[in-house]
Structure 1
Amino acid sequence: MNAAGRQADPIAEYEAALTAVLHGPGGEKARMIEELWDGLADTAEAHVDEGESYERAARLAVREFGTVEEIAPVCQRELTIAQARHTARTVILIAPFLVACWYLARTSGLPGTAWQLPRTAQSLAVHLAAVAIAAALLAASTLAATGTLARRLPTPRRLPLVVAWAGTTTSVTMAVATLALAVAAALATDWPLLALAGALSAASHAVVASSARASRRCARLAVA
């Protein structure tokens, strides 16, 4: 089918409209849209076999499937949970690195009592580690609640939003860790290691922040 024909196809128009309103992990969204397309195509084909023209068969299939306004909330809920799981996995992977940053700041070869700012950075690192551990525990609980436990218990409606803000908190914590490591590197004797950790912390912040931002958007759409 050429591009013009595809644009005029009721199923293609339905697919485009649904794609535009859904947000979530790219792979999950693509899989969902493909499954919906296959279902609509099979239904339309069944109507064609009954003697309907393709255009009418496609419109009947879309009508039977439900409007975009009716289907989108159900699909978005599934994508929101998928995005929450993605963010949770990201937080779990990042948390150990944040604890390692805490350890580096605590054990770095800083000058003695003349430097008050590094001591502040070390104290801050303890709080960063605590945030990382709390976020990791929440992320692990989220994976359990949306995985095996979801077969027995309903997933709490607000859980994706909680995970989104936990990811946001973790991303902010990574930004603060980057600053703390940069300060420590400027004043420490083993600054190359601290500088490398700071660069990795900045990169981790970008990854977590992006996932958390996507989770917040999905969560808002799911509860709208």
Structure 2
Amino acid sequence: MTASLRDPLDAHLAELDRSLRGPARARRDIVREARDGLDDAADAYRRGGVDPHTAARLAVRDFGPVAEIAPLYQDELAAGQGRRTALLLAIALPALMVGWDFVWQSGLAPGPPAPAAVKVLARVQDVAATTIAAVSGLLVALTFRRTRSPRRVAAAAMVTSMVAVVVCGGSAIAMNLVNASEAWLRFTTQPVGLSAYVVSLGVMVLLNVSALRTLRTLRAARKDDRHRVE
């Protein structure tokens, strides 16, 4: 395909790419799909006898302004980012629970019996993690279904992730503060205990980052809505 044909198409696709917010792979897939459609439309005009540059401009016209098209794609991106967040929750929290149970039961991080307050907080954390994982599994399933509002599912995944960080992360911090001396000993002298802390922190960071990315995707969708109204 000649440069004279591709230039208007490339400019339009570049504008579309800049307008979208969401997972990089999903954005690339959307732009690739749009490129295929534009190329087919331009080729059809060329076969009808239209010169390449005019064919490209007509294909772009038929495709529609980015301001009108981007919000439709943004809903798809919001659903994709929400799916990622929910899937991370559904996998990471149960895995973290199993990992810590293994650390305690294996004797790799020995220590005296935990205070009563720590046991209560641990119970709260277990119940919260189990509930959040179940909700996340449901949200993952919903992201694969056509719904009237994929943004609501994405927003639910974002809120669930934030709740997980606050409740599970907060209870973990509280447990270590209540039993600070043992926590410090485990952190400084037990490689397995240190590894468990590092992994737990990493999971909380990933959940927070995924929630923030979902929030940015939803904000982009709302921004597109405002532009369409204006």
Unaligned stretches of 5+ residues in structure 2:
224-230
1:136 aligns to 2:133 (yes or no): yes
TM-score, reference length from structure 1: 0.81
Match in the other structure for 1:203: 202
| Structure 2 counterpart of 1:160, one-letter code | A
2-structure distance, mates of 1:126, 1:102:
13
Deviations 1:163-184 (A, max 9, x none): 1121122234554466446945
Percent of aligned positions that are identical:
29
- Residue number in structure 2 paired with 1:63: 61
Q: 1:35 aligns with which of 17, 33, 36?
A: 33
Q: Distance in 2 between matches of 1:156 and 1:32?
A: 17
Map 1:104-115 onto structure 2 (within 5 A): 109-111=110-112
> Bigger relative contact order, structure 1 or 2, given CA contacts below 8 A and separation 6+?
2
Following the alignment from structure 1 to structure 2, what is the Cα–Cα distance between the partners of residues 21 and 119?
53
What is the alpha-carbon distance in structure 2 between the residues aligned to residue 165 and residue 156 of structure 1? 14
8 Å Cα contact 2:143-2:153 kept in structure 1:
no
C-alpha distance in structure 1 between counterparts of 2:121 and 2:102, whole Å: 12
Q: Does structure 2 conserve the Cα–Cα contact (< 8 Å) formed by 1:102 and 1:128?
A: no
SS of 1:9's partner is: helix
What amino acid sits opposite 2:206 in the alignment?
V
After TM superposition, the score normalised by the length of structure 2 is 0.79
- How far 1:34 moved relative to its partner? 0.3
Indicate the residue corresponding to 1:83 in structure 2.
Answer: 81
Change (3 A) 1:137 1:124: same
Which amino acid letter does the alignment assign opposite residue 169 of structure 1? V
TM-fit CA distance, 1:77? 0.2
Residue number in structure 2 paired with 1:167: 161
